[in-house]
Copies of this chain bind each other. A is one copy, B any other.
Amino acid sequence: MPSSRPLRHLISLHDLAQSEIDDLLDLSLRLKQRPGKATLAGKTVGLLFFRGSLRTRSSFEAAMKQLGGNTINLTASSDFWELESGAGTVMDGRAPEHVKDAAAVLSCYVDALAIRTKPSGGAWAVDRRDADIRSWAEHARVPVINMESSLWHPLQGLADLMTMRESLGELRGKTLSFVWTNSPTAASPTAVHSLMHAALRYGMQVRVANPAGYELDEDVWRRAGALASEHGGTATSCTEANDAIRGAHVVYARSWHSLEDYGNPTLAASRRARAGDWLLDERRMALGDEAKLMHAMPVRRNLEVVDSVLDGPRSLVVRQAENRLHSQKAVLQWLLRS
C-alpha cells in the first residue's frame, strides 16, 4: 500500500539528516514517557529474517503492537526461500524467485518491510557491499527498514544514542570507547559501525581498542576520520583496552571477527586463542571517568564482562535493550504515520 509521500528507507543512519536523528531521539524519549497511543492502527509491517534474531524481533513486534499496528513474520523456517538478485539472470539455479518480484508482491500486503539479511560469510569484499538489503530497497514500493545487514545496524545505533543522551546529556566532547571482547561466538561490528559514525556526527571523541588483526573495515574507518574532522571530534584506535578506557565516559564492549580470517573459522579460532585478555572487570573500568558500560547483548558473563560490572550501577545494558523498544516506535511512527 504505497502512499503518496516520497519513499524513504532506513538502511544506515547516514540515510537520516542530523535534524531527523535529533527529532527521532526526542520522539523516542517522549514515547518512553507516554507509551500509550495507537497511532498505527491498521498498519502492518512485514518482518523478513534471513538470519535468526531474538531481541530485535521481539522488540520490533512489541513496538509495532504497542502502537496499535500488526506484524507479519514472513520467514518462519518453513517459508524460507532463496532469492535471486542479479539483473537479467536466466534463473535456472536454486533460487525460484527474484527479489524484484518478492519485493513487489510483499509491498502489496504490508506498509513497510523490516529485513535482517544473512551475510554470505564468503568474502568480506563482497559482503560489505550489502547487496541484499540494497536490492530490497531498490525493488520495494514501501519503506525498507534494516534490522541488521553486513555493515550496519541502524536500530541498535539509534537505541544506543538515545541511551547515551539519557545518561550523559550533551554528547559533544565526551569520550566513547569501543573495546573488543573475546567471545567464542563473536557478534559483528555492525553496532559499532552505526554508533561510531552517529557519535562522530555529534562531535564525540571516539576510540576503538582491539588486538592487532581485528581492525575495522577500512572504508568505515576512513569515513569515521572524515566525520571527526567535519564535526570537531576525533577517531583514534589502539591495541590495549586500558588505553581506550582511560578517561572515557562510555565503555562499549563488543566482540567481532577478524576481517583477515573472514569466512575461515579455523584461522579465526586460532587467531582468537592468541588475542589475550580483554575481560572487562572492575579494575579496568575504574580507569574511566565514572565510565558507563554499554553492550548490545547477548553478553557472555565473566568472559566478556564480569558480573559485578554488568550488574553494577554504571551498567546501561538493560536500558539499551529497553530503548530498542522506544526508539523503534519512533522510527515506525516517523515512517508510517499517515
Contact = CB atoms under 8 A, between A and B. Distances in A.
Given A92-B300, A108-B321, 13 more contacts: A1-B35, A42-B66, A52-B79, A52-B80, A62-B72, A73-B76, A90-B302, A91-B300, A96-B183, A96-B185, A97-B298, A101-B318, A105-B322
Contacts of A299: 97-98, 101
Contacts of A61: 72
Interface in A34-63: 35-36, 38, 42, 44, 46, 49, 51-55, 57-59, 61-62
A105 B57 CA distance: 12
A65 B101 CA distance: 23
A70 interface: yes
B96 A72 contact: no
Given A44-B65, A65-B70, A96-B185, A297 B101 contact: yes
Given A36-B42, A42-B66, A79-B57, A90 B303 contact: yes
A231 interface: no
A183 B95 CA distance: 11
Interface in A85-129: 88-92, 96-98, 100-102, 104-106, 108-110
B74 A325 contact: no
A298 to B, nearest CB: 4
Interface of A: 1, 35-36, 38, 42, 44, 46, 49, 51-55, 57-59, 61-62, 65-66, 68, 70, 72-81, 84, 88-92, 96-98, 100-102, 104-106, 108-110, 183-185, 297-303, 307, 317-318, 321-322, 325
A325 B298 CA distance: 35
Copies of this chain present in the complex amount to 3
B300 A96 contact: yes
A77 B78 contact: yes
Contacts of A100: 301
A41 to B, nearest CB: 9
A336 B245 CA distance: 44
17 contacts: A42-B68, A44-B66, A62-B109, A76-B77, A81-B298, A89-B301, A89-B302, A91-B300, A91-B303, A92-B184, A92-B303, A97-B297, A97-B298, A101-B297, A101-B299, A101-B301, A105-B321
B62 A110 contact: yes
A313 B317 CA distance: 53
A58 B72 contact: yes
Contacts of A57: 79
Contacts of A79: 52-54, 57
Q: Which of A38, A58, A321 has the largest count of B CB atoms less than 10 A from its CB?
A: A58
Nearest to A54: B79
A292 to B, nearest CB: 17
A179 B38 CA distance: 48
Contacts of A97: 297-300
Q: Which of A59, A81, A105 has the largest count of B CB atoms less than 10 A from its CB?
A: A105
Given A65-B44, A91-B303, A300-B91, A74 B58 contact: yes
